[in-house]
Amino acid sequence: MGDKRDDLDDLLASARDAEAPSDALIARVLADAATVQEDLQAPAPAPASRRGWGAWLSGIGGWRGAGGLVAATATGLMVGVYAPDSVDALLDGALTDYGVIASDELVSGWGALLDLEDG
């Protein structure tokens, strides 16, 4: 441990003994800094205004955001329609026993719409 500390002390002592930078170098650095500051203080160009669907799409992240929104909506709809039955089946009817799900057929109208058999 003492060996590393001695090395650090030697390094800091050599840094204290080093010569100061020349006035020419300091002038060049300050001139460069002033140029950079002038560029940063210039006003940014105004963004192009969008109207209608373009503004809406840019507000949600463009086409990728719209695609994610559509996918999340479709997933939420499918989970809402199919998940209660699946979860109740996994819990061996516990949701029905507690009265959370009133019947096994959550959307009664769809059965008649999807029934292709006559009779």
Distance CA 99, CA 96 (A): 5
Q: How many CA atoms lie within 13 A of 75 on its CB side?
A: 6
Task: Give me the chain's average pLDDT, please.
Answer: 77
pTM over 0.75: no
* pLDDT score of 1: 52
What per-residue confidence (pLDDT) applies to 37? 87
Phi-psi region of 81 (alpha: psi -120 to 50; beta: other; left: phi over 0): alpha
Percent of the chain with pLDDT over 90: 18
| C-alpha span between 62 and 69 (Å, rounded) | 11
Which two structure tokens, joined as six digits, stand for 82?
Answer: 């199919």
State the Cα–Cα distance between residues 101 and 88, nearest whole angstrom.
8
Query: C-alpha 108: how far from its chain's center?
Result: 39
Task: Give residue-wise pLDDT tens across range 34-78.
Answer: 988 887 776 777 776 777 877 878 888 888 999 999 999 998 887
